[in-house]
Amino acid sequence: MTTKMIATPTRTQEILRKYKFSFKKSLGQNFLIDVNILENIIAHAGIDESAGAIEIGPGIGALTEQLAIHADRVVAYEIDQRLLPILQDTLNGYSNIHIIHQDILEANMDETIKANFRSDQPVHVVANLPYYITTPILMKLLRDRLQVNSFTVMIQKEVAERMAAKPNSKSYGSLSIAVQYYTTAKVVMNVPKRAFMPQPNVDSSVLRLTTREKPPVEVDDEDFFFELVQACFAQRRKTLRNNLVNYFKDKEGFDKVTISETLERIGLDGTRRGESLDIAEFALLANTFYEELNY
């Protein structure tokens, strides 16, 4: 078992020198070099010896190592082929890690979960996500409705705030609704730039998403619901009515008068802005217009 932890500046430098590794900006590679922060992430993720863990982008194995120490089994997806021999070396003392060389956006994680974890086992996704592709990764995983208990992810602070935001706040938008439809979201810690090598240009936060058994609202059509929510935030300074008029401009029979009458009928004030509506109001709005479109 490795005694010298990977997540220290000295050990990280040693590994990088040994393999002549250079960071790829295009892959958003920033390695964590603080063991205390990693242990905090694992505590927030609820990882214990009964749990299975899935990691995305293990890098040189700093978080992977901590997951292996605390979890029953770890599966990690790495897209960068140059890191595979490094991971084989840095993690060779752990028998409970399985590395998959694949782009997470193309992975069938449902199959991976079935193949690697027991059906009664709690499974958690824990990752230091590349900031340039955080939202596509998380939305894919959420929409796939995986048998996963939670997602604890290190992401850009601003994006974490948007995902966890409540109505009537500057950060609240269509991303908040999309994430909170599938999970309950909470920013659990902030992480300083100095905890990474190289240091990123943005501040970071750890976001914990706890999977809901079922969404908090019932919608007639999920795709239409998310599309309409996006339309209501298309121009934040515009009223709900004006954003809807713009969205329905190519649909016959959905002029400003009809839209105003529909809003009035369901008790929503058309002069409000999208950021003032909660998820239940968006569901009411989407279901009403979906019914009218398909009438």
3-state SS assignment for residue 145: coil
What distance in Å separates the CA atoms of residue 11 and residue 14, rounded to the nearest whole number? Answer: 5
CA 25 to chain centre: 20
What distance in Å separates the CA atoms of residue 183 and residue 177, rounded to the nearest whole number? Answer: 10
What distance in Å separates the CA atoms of residue 173 and residue 155, rounded to the nearest whole number? Answer: 17
User: b vs e for 175-210, b when ≥16 Cβ sit within 10 Å of the residue's Cβ?
Assistant: bbbbbbbbbebebbbebeeebbbeeeeeebbbbbbe
Structure tokens at 97: 């890690």
What distance in Å separates the CA atoms of residue 112 and residue 96, rounded to the nearest whole number? Answer: 15
Annotated binding residue 218: no
Eight-state DSSP code of residue 266: T
Eight-state DSSP code of residue 104: G
CA 210 to chain centre: 11
What distance in Å separates the CA atoms of residue 197 and residue 26, rounded to the nearest whole number? Answer: 15
Q: How many residues does the chain have?
A: 295
Annotated binding residue 242: no
Cα–Cα distances (Å) from 3 to 10, 18, 90, 283, in that order, read 14, 18, 11, 53
Annotated binding residue 57: yes
Annotated binding residue 103: yes
Sequence ranges of the binding site for S-adenosyl-L-methionine: 30, 32, 57, 78, 103, 128
Sequence ranges of the binding site: 30, 32, 57, 78, 103, 128
